[in-house]
């Protein structure tokens, strides 16, 4: 009798196991993927991770702009990250790229871009994106984006990525972010993906009246605050959104590239 019961139990376990889906619709851990020899480029891994990021990191933490959510659910963040870090593209943390630079965590990017209140036809100046990812998101949300990057290697990679993705409204410019882009000013919005002790007045000069500027302010990592500045009738008003941690803005002179 015990043998019959044991045999029946084995059959039941095998039957249940055969019903478990092996489709990659659930995000397995990186170690599991490697152990199974699964090619993440040919699976649903990234798509599912991207959707989870939008739901769990953005919506759940207060990002409400449907256009920002849609853009970040569309753009493949892994394509802007070195191969060795792609499995972690949608983790809630910054990731290294190259040239000693990194890509900010998705939530911080969403907060900064949402703070610009973009409606779709604005001219935006982005400073020191480094990866091209934020520029792509901005290109989805605005009429035209001018993205300044001081490091030639990064600028070249950014230009290649946004061109391949078909963002004809995104322009990558090699130059010093502190100087802005006076020849293409004024801008409806300016966003800086690096920390400053204070915003140079030349950047406020390039902001349209009614425009918004978002930047991390503070020299020390543990003292930086994400700040939004609004220009109204020539005056600058600011709102602090919370603590962040960014490297300092590059100090390259434009003729030193």
pLDDT in tens, 150-199: 999 999 999 999 999 999 999 999 988 889 999 999 999 999 999 999 99
* Domain assignment of residue 122, given as a range: 67-256
CATH number of the structural domain spanning residue 243: 3.40.50.150
The string of pLDDT tens digits covering residues 196-255 is 999 999 999 999 999 999 999 998 777 899 999 999 999 999 999 988 888 888 765 444
First to last CA, the chain: 83
Would you say residue 149 lies in a domain?
yes
Query: Tokens 């569309």 label which residue?
Result: 74
Q: What is the pLDDT of residue 20?
A: 27
Average pLDDT over residues 23-29: 39
Average pLDDT over residues 61-87: 95
Would you say residue 26 lies in a domain?
no
Other CB atoms within 10 Å distance of the CB of residue 186: 15
Would you say residue 81 lies in a domain?
yes
CA gap 133, 36 in Å, rounded: 30
Would you say residue 177 lies in a domain?
yes
**pTM value?**
0.82
Instruction: Name the nearest CA neighbour of 134 among 151, 119, 147.
Output: 147
Q: What is the pLDDT of residue 40?
A: 57
Would you say residue 23 lies in a domain?
no
Q: CB-side exposure of 149: number of CA atoms within 13 Å?
A: 23
Would you say residue 92 lies in a domain?
yes
Q: What is the pLDDT of residue 41?
A: 58
Rg (CA), the chain: 22
Q: What is the pLDDT of residue 8?
A: 41
- Predicted confidence band at 14 (pLDDT cuts at 50, 70, 90)? very low
Q: Using the predicted structure, report yes or no on whether residue 60 has a pLDDT greater than 90.
A: yes
The string of pLDDT tens digits covering residues 80-112 is 999 899 999 999 999 999 888 899 999 999 999
The percentage of residues in the chain with a pLDDT greater than 90, rounded to a whole number, is 70
- Predicted confidence band at 17 (pLDDT cuts at 50, 70, 90)? very low
Q: Output the six-digit token pair for 73.
A: 């659910």
Q: Total domain count for the chain?
A: 1
CA gap 167, 144 in Å, rounded: 9
**H and E: helices and strands count for the chain:** 8, 9
Q: Output the six-digit token pair for 252.
A: 């390259």
User: In 3-state terms, what secondary structure has residue 182?
Assistant: helix
Would you say residue 47 lies in a domain?
no
Would you say residue 243 lies in a domain?
yes
């Amino acid at each position: 009798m015990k043998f019959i019961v044991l045999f029946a139990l084995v059959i039941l376990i095998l039957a249940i196991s055969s019903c478990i889906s092996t489709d990659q619709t659930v995000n397995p851990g990186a170690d599991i993927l490697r152990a199974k020899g699964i090619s993440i480029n040919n699976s649903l891994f990234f798509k599912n991770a991207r959707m989870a990021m939008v739901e769990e990191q953005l919506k759940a933490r207060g990002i409400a702009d449907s256009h920002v959510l849609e853009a970040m659910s569309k753009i493949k963040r892994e394509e802007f990250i070195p191969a060795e870090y792609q499995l972690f593209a949608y983790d809630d943390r910054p990731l290294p790229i190259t040239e000693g630079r990194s890509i900010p965590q998705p939530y911080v990017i969403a907060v900064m871009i949402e703070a610009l209140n973009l409606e779709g036809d604005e001219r935006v100046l982005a400073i020191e994106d480094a990866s091209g990812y934020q520029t792509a998101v901005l290109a989805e949300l605005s009429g035209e984006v001018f993205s300044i990057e001081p490091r030639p290697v990064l600028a070249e990679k950014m230009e290649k990525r946004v061109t391949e993705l078909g963002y004809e409204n995104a322009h990558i410019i090699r130059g010093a972010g502190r100087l802005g882009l006076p020849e293409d000013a004024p801008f409806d919005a300016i966003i800086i993906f690096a920390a400053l002790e204070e915003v140079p007045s030349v950047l406020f000069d390039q902001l349209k009246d009614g425009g918004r500027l978002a930047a991390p302010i503070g020299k020390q990592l543990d003292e930086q605050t994400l700040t939004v500045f609004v220009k109204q009738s020539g005056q600058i008003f600011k709102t602090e959104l919370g603590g962040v941690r960014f490297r300092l803005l590059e100090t390259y002179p434009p003729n030193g590239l």
